[in-house]
A = this chain, B = another copy of it.
Amino acid sequence: MSTPKIVILGAGYGGLLTALGLQKKLNYNEAEVTLVNKHTYHYLTTWLHEPAAGTSSADHARVELDRIVDMQKIKFVKGAVQSIQSTEQTVTLENGDVLSYDYLVIALGSESETFGIEGLKEYAFGIRSINSVRQIREHIEYMFAKYKTEPHRTDYLTFVVGGAGFTGIEFCGELTDRVPELCKEFDVDPELVKIYSVEAAPTALPGFDPELVEYAMNVLTRKGVEFRISTPVKQCTPDGVVLATGEEIKSKTVIWTGGVRGNSIVEKSGFEVMRGRVKVDEYMRAPGHDNVFVVGDCALVFNPEGRPYPPTAQISIQEGENTAQNLVALIRNAPLTPFVPALQGTLASLGKGEGMGVVFGGKKVFGTSAALMKKASDLRYLYKIGGVGLALSKVKL
């Protein structure tokens, strides 16, 4: 009997934790594990609002994979996935290479959900990857520089953040920290800079406790954000956005954070999806495919009340760990363990030294303590994937 082949597609939270779990649990020659990823690095999606605003460097939010993955145990393939042929048990990469598998882990992450809003795909930025946030940061700086050579163009100094969910709110927190620095660097009057947070839902941070929402909005309003709540974006153009209210905001920088859907490769490969996500079984497997696990933003998991869990890093990490455990079980013919998330609370940052959230047990936290807890949770993750050395190397003092 030949060594079973496990192929993991994607080295985000879900894929990386699957790989690290297998690296730890598998014995020599029990399986041949291949990790496929577009980049040679893993990035911390939940940190990307910082480098996007320019309050920290993009390098800070990524870790080279060879620093955390044992490349002797896990075969790494740098490449972008083009399609999955589940009948043939193969994966085709964009460069034409074909990988065959016995077990597959789909951890391909998400795509921006634009809800059919005209112009968003063409003209809005997304906080989506190391490359995209470097572009956002450079674009913002470029706008300040351009304004100084065309001082009638105040639209260069207007920033529209579409979506007041987690990412949108955290990005606003960073951007309000960054603006005074940019104004100083480029000799721009801070009064001229406008930041709008636009949200279609009747509240910012839908799903959050109203007291937390109010706190976040107060902090950000004080820092200069203007909110447009219950206000869908109707259209995005090269000159800004048109809101459903008819209001037009002239801006050269629209950043869309209005939601995500699963990677379209999954649907194109014939898996049944809802908004790009596969409704997995209790072991995180695609229905009808006992050898295909789906984790992270491509997976749809329901809570006991029948509502889907939000696509968070926290859940993706746990899904990856659970999947690693179940892959080992399958190889050893042992029983599988159902996936049950252990929710540890949610913390949002609102810029330097500011945050809010709920911690384990439902306790609400605010301000500096929330910001510190968030940093502690980030450090715990780095420790988990790369040990003390990695955690310490990323601490900003």
Chain A residues in the interface with B (C-beta under 8 A)? 59, 131-132, 134-135, 137-139, 141-142, 144-146, 148-149, 185-186
* Chain A interface helix/strand/loop/mixed: helix
A221 smallest CB distance to B (angstroms):
29
Choice from B131, B134, B135, B149 contacting A135 with Cβ under 8 Å? B149
Choice from B134, B146, B148 contacting A145 with Cβ under 8 Å? B134
A111 smallest CB distance to B (angstroms):
14
Chain B residues with Cβ under 8 A from A138's Cβ?
Answer: 138, 141-142, 144-146
Chain B residues with Cβ under 8 A from A131's Cβ?
Answer: 145, 148-149
Chain B residues with Cβ under 8 A from A141's Cβ?
Answer: 138, 141-142
A17 smallest CB distance to B (angstroms):
24
Output the nearest chain B residue to A134 by Cβ-Cβ distance: B145
Docked complex Cα distance between A139 and B141 (Å): 9
Docked complex Cα distance between A139 and B145 (Å): 9
CB pair A135 B145 closer than 8 Å: yes
Chain B residues with Cβ under 8 A from A132's Cβ?
Answer: 149
Output the nearest chain B residue to A57 by Cβ-Cβ distance: B185
Q: List 23 A-B contacts (CB under 8 A).
A: A131-B145, A131-B148, A131-B149, A134-B148, A134-B185, A134-B186, A135-B142, A135-B145, A135-B146, A135-B148, A135-B149, A137-B145, A138-B138, A138-B141, A138-B142, A138-B144, A138-B145, A138-B146, A139-B142, A139-B145, A141-B141, A141-B142, A142-B142
Output the nearest chain B residue to A141 by Cβ-Cβ distance: B138
Docked complex Cα distance between A145 and B141 (Å): 12
Supply 20 further A-B pairs (C-beta < 8 A) apart from A138-B141, A142-B142: A59-B185, A131-B145, A131-B148, A131-B149, A134-B145, A134-B185, A134-B186, A135-B142, A135-B145, A135-B146, A135-B149, A138-B138, A138-B142, A138-B144, A138-B145, A138-B146, A139-B142, A139-B145, A141-B141, A141-B142
The 6 closest A-B CB pairs, nearest first, are A138-B145, A131-B148, A135-B145, A138-B142, A134-B145, A142-B142
A181 smallest CB distance to B (angstroms):
13
A371 smallest CB distance to B (angstroms):
28
Output the nearest chain B residue to A125 by Cβ-Cβ distance: B149
Chain B residues with Cβ under 8 A from A59's Cβ?
Answer: 185
Output the nearest chain B residue to A136 by Cβ-Cβ distance: B145
Chain B residues with Cβ under 8 A from A134's Cβ?
Answer: 145, 148, 185-186
A54 smallest CB distance to B (angstroms):
11
Docked complex Cα distance between A132 and B149 (Å): 7
